């Protein structure tokens, strides 16, 4: 069997995970033995408490992908995850670290998965690329515009194959919806509305500061973020609602949804940005980012509207999330469940399309695409490379910056900065603390 045919068959076998129960530890070990040595890929995962572990489990379902190391500052998370049935029988072969820099020294690691809080993404990605590793980085790729630009520069310098975890790009029905948008059947599109209403997401109650849980290296968790006392309402999943570590719903879900708004309109950066919102629903809970936010982006030939709310589900068109392309002939609405077209009442062009349901598991397909790019040594086939992810992350950051600065912003595309020098100084790149520095590439 030649190499290309082997790769194709390997990926087809891995794709079977969509139709059969997840592979257990013994099956993973067996698939490793049946995979030629030159197609084995060893991965090490940093940050395994949430999506980082989900990404890891999907990756090791692909034959020939081996988990050889994990790293987390929370030893409780490591103990819990390594007891998972998918890795229980290979647990003793997995090296354990609390310092990611030590893990990067492990020579047999080919690929690093990063699933940490957002404020760690840039440093870890750049260090891993410099160490000669390929990478899968959770979204949003960076926690500031400056970080995003540094990460793009690092990929160009070191040549690593890097996939960003915007897995909707590997979902068939999203791609089908974009083909319809690009067909022109909707007529001129004047507005794209992005709605993100997440009822299951809400801030935690305000509680007193406390000692970190036993087994947690809290100083390492903070890393380049400002030194602050430990508080459980800012820890693990809920770091999302604090500016030092993340950017709220705008960056958490925005990079998924705004991404397809840009793809559909074949657009890159806006001319102006206005973000309005606040802590309207939960002013007494523990958060810094807004629980309600409306942002208007002005492009040359259309407006893009972001509308988000925490704690409720009834968003635009009765959905908890969607992207709507509003054209003269009809409106195409797409979310993770599928896509449809609502026809404009006066339209003479018949564009009505009933709901087209989703047909594949984009998360797993994203892993397959990544592993294929590594085995073929072709960054160009990645479904979400660093530059594309950085562009939409910057768009999300722009909305947050407008909200935080309480002003309308003008973006100078030719200079890659805001027109107001004070805004650039305050928000373009986050200040690093505790001895950490963002490398200059």
Compute and round to an integer the Cα radius of gyration of the chain.
22
Confidence class of residue 17 from pLDDT cuts 50, 70 and 90? Answer: very low
Q: Which of 76-80, 177-181, 233-237, 345-349 has the lowest mean pLDDT?
A: 345-349
CATH number at residue 412: 3.30.360.10
Are the C-beta atoms of 231 and 209 separated by less than 8 Å?
yes
Question: In three state form, how does the secondary structure of the chain look?
Answer: CCHHHHHHHHHHHHHHHHCCCCCCHHHHHHHHHCCCHHHCEEEEEECCCCHHHHHHHHHCCCCCEEEEEEECCEHHHHHHHCCCCCCHHHHHHCEEECCHHHHHCCCCCCEEEECCCHHHHHHHHHHHHHCCCEEEECCCCCCCHHHHHHHHHHHHHHCCCEEECCHHHHCHHHHHHHHHHHCCCCCCEEEEEEEEEECCCCCEECCCCCCCCCCECHHHHHCCCCCCCCCHHHCHHHHHHCCCCCCHHHHHCHHHHHHHHHHHHCCCCCCEEEEEEECCCCCCEECCCCCEEEEEEECCCCEEEEEEEECCCCCHHHCCEEEEEEECCEEEEEECCEEEEEECCCCCCCCCEEEEECCCCHHHHHHHHHHHHHHHCCHHHCCCCHHHHHHHHHHHHHHHHHHHHCCCEEEECCCCEECCHHHHHHHCCCCCCCCCCCCCC
CATH number at residue 369: 3.40.50.720
Are the C-beta atoms of 196 and 315 separated by less than 8 Å?
yes
Q: Give 29-66 pLDDT, tens digit per residue.
A: 334 445 566 789 999 999 999 999 999 999 999 999 99
| Alpha-carbon dihedral 199, 201, 206, 211, rounded to 10 degrees | 150
Same domain, 289 and 315: yes
Split into its structural domains, the chain has a count of 2
Q: Give 117-159 pLDDT, tens digit per residue.
A: 999 999 999 999 999 999 999 999 999 999 999 999 999 999 9
Same domain, 50 and 21: yes
In a domain? residue 380 = yes
Structural tokens at position 95? 């090296």
Same domain, 135 and 190: no
Q: Give 269-283 pLDDT, tens digit per residue.
A: 999 999 999 999 999
Structural tokens at position 269? 């950066």
Same domain, 248 and 379: no
Are the C-beta atoms of 397 and 149 separated by less than 8 Å?
no
Instruction: Read off φ and ψ for residue 200, nearest 5 degrees.
Output: -80, -5
Side-chain half-sphere CA neighbours of 412 within 13 A = 9
Are the C-beta atoms of 124 and 100 separated by less than 8 Å?
yes
Burial class (CB in 10 A: 0-12, 13-18, 19+), 437: exposed
In a domain? residue 433 = no
Structural tokens at position 55? 């990404």
Q: Give 64-76 pLDDT, tens digit per residue.
A: 999 999 999 999 9
Question: Which residues face 292 on adjacent strands?
Answer: 278, 309
Enclosing domain of residue 118: 3-169+364-386
Confidence class of residue 8 from pLDDT cuts 50, 70 and 90? Answer: very low
Q: Give 283-322 pLDDT, tens digit per residue.
A: 999 999 999 999 999 999 999 999 999 999 999 999 999 9
Same domain, 62 and 176: no
Same domain, 64 and 90: yes
Supply the pLDDT for residue 88.
78
Question: Which residues face 205 on adjacent strands?
Answer: 285
Same domain, 134 and 219: no
In a domain? residue 440 = no
- Neighbouring C-beta atoms of residue 357, cutoff 10 Å: 10
Supply the pLDDT for residue 9.
44
Are the C-beta atoms of 180 and 401 separated by less than 8 Å?
no
In a domain? residue 142 = yes
Same domain, 249 and 397: yes
Confidence class of residue 2 from pLDDT cuts 50, 70 and 90? Answer: very low
Same domain, 209 and 265: yes
Q: How far apart are CA 7 and CA 376, in angstroms?
A: 8
- Neighbouring C-beta atoms of residue 304, cutoff 10 Å: 23
Are the C-beta atoms of 115 and 51 separated by less than 8 Å?
yes
Structural tokens at position 277? 């919102």
Q: Is the peptide bond preceding residue 140 cis, with omega within 30 degrees of 0? A: yes
In a domain? residue 435 = no
- Is the pLDDT score of 329 beyond 90? yes
Q: Which of 239-248, 285-294, 301-310, 359-368 has the lowest mean pLDDT?
A: 359-368
Structural tokens at position 142? 């960076």
In a domain? residue 438 = no
Structural tokens at position 431? 């200040």
Same domain, 176 and 161: no
In a domain? residue 242 = yes
Supply the pLDDT for residue 48.
96
Are the C-beta atoms of 232 and 210 separated by less than 8 Å?
yes
Same domain, 370 and 395: no
Same domain, 326 and 210: yes
Q: Give 222-237 pLDDT, tens digit per residue.
A: 999 999 999 999 999 9
In a domain? residue 439 = no
pTM of the model: 0.91
């Amino acid at each position: 069997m030649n190499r290309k045919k082997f790769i194709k068959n390997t990926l087809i076998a891995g794709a079977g995970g969509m139709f059969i129960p997840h592979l257990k530890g013994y099956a993973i070990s067996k698939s490793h033995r049946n995979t030629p040595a030159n197609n084995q890929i060893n991965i090490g995962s940093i940050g395994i408490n949430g999506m980082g572990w989900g990404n890891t489990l999907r990756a090791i379902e692909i034959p020939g992908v081996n988990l050889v190391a994990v790293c987390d500052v929370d030893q409780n998370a490591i103990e819990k995850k390594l007891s998972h049935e998918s890795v229980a029988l290979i647990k003793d072969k997995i090296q354990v670290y609390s310092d990611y820099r030590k893990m990067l020294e492990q020579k047999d690691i080919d690929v690093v998965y990063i699933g940490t809080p957002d404020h760690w993404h840039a440093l870890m990605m750049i260090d891993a690329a410099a160490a000669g590793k390929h990478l899968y980085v959770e979204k949003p790729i960076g926690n500031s515009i400056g970080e995003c630009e540094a990460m793009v520069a690092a990929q160009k310098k070191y040549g690593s194959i890097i996939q960003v975890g915007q897995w909707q790009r590997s979902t068939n029905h999203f791609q089908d919806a974009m083909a319809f948008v690009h067909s022109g059947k909707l007529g001129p599109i004047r507005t794209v509305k992005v709605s993100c209403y997440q009822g299951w997401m809400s801030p935690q109650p305000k509680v007193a500061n406390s000692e970190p849980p036993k087994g947690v290296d809290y100083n390492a968790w903070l890393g380049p973020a400002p030194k602050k006392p430990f508080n459980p309402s800012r820890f693990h999943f809920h770091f999302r609602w604090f500016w030092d570590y993340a950017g709220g719903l705008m960056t958490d879900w925005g990079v998924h949804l705004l991404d397809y708004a840009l793809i559909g309109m074949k657009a890159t950066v806006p001319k102006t940005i206005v973000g309005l919102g606040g802590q309207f629903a939960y002013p007494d809970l523990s958060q810094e980012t807004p629980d309600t936010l409306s942002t208007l982006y002005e492009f040359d030939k259309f407006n893009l509207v972001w509308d988000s709310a925490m704690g409720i589900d009834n968003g635009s068109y009765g959905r908890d999330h969607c992207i709507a392309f509003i054209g003269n002939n009809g409106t195409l609405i797409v979310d993770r469940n599928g896509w449809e077209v609502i026809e404009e009442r006066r339209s003479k062009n018949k564009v009505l399309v009933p709901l087209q349901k989703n047909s594949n598991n984009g998360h797993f397909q994203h892993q397959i695409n990544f592993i294929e790019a590594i085995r073929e040594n072709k960054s160009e086939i990645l479904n979400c490379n660093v530059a594309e992810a950085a562009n939409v992350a910057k768009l999300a950051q722009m909305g947050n910056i407008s909200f935080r600065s309480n002003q309308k912003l003008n973006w100078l595309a030719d200079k890659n900065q805001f027109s107001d020098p004070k805004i650039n100084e305050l928000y373009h790149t986050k200040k690093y603390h505790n001895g950490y520095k963002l490398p200059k590439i």
